[in-house]
Amino acid sequence: MYFIWGIILTSATLKVWVSQILIAFFPKFAQKINIIRHESDVDQTYFIDMQASAVWDSITLWTLPVSGVLLILDNPLWTYFGLIGGSMLIYFAGRNIAINLKLYCNGINIGKSKKLKVNLLILTVWELIGLITLLMAFLTLNSQHFYLM
């Protein structure tokens, strides 16, 4: 179970992290490969916010792929990276869901409705990945704590 989750966690979150790096530092390339909405298709402030958020996310979200690799290697340090990274992914996805819905409902151009639905689905999956990782790490640490007593 842990090995399989390690593979899922590494592959899914490595994509998130690399995507954020591309959005933050190579936005034209990110637009070309469709991992960010095209600047001409959205409100300029929204586009700038996506890039600014991606800078911070690219600095912080590396903890999740590291956690996944450590989990695959059965290294107990995965739990600490999982607690931090899982919490950050929950925040990252939840914040983006809330922002997208609020902007859309207030008539701010954030792209086509179909793309918004796909984006919200992807963010919900990331939210679940963060939650599962956080719970697994917490339960692992909790069981180790009681085992040592």
Mean pLDDT by 10 residues, the chain (149 residues): 93 93 94 89 91 93 95 96 95 93 94 88 95 95 65
Residue 81, pLDDT score: 96
Residue 145, pLDDT score: 60
Task: Enter the DSSP assignment of 33.
Answer: T
Task: Enter the DSSP assignment of 4.
Answer: H
Residue 7, pLDDT score: 96
> Could you identify the residue written with the tokens 């939650």?
131
CA distance 36 to 27: 8
Cβ contacts of 24 within 8 Å, gap of 6 or more:
51, 54, 55, 57, 58
- Helix residue ranges, H only, 26-149: 27-32, 44-60, 63-72, 78-105, 113-148
Residue 112, pLDDT score: 84
Model confidence, pTM: 0.86
Cβ contacts of 60 within 8 Å, gap of 6 or more:
88
CA distance 65 to 14: 5
The residue type found at 72 is I
Residue 91, pLDDT score: 93
CA distance 56 to 120: 20
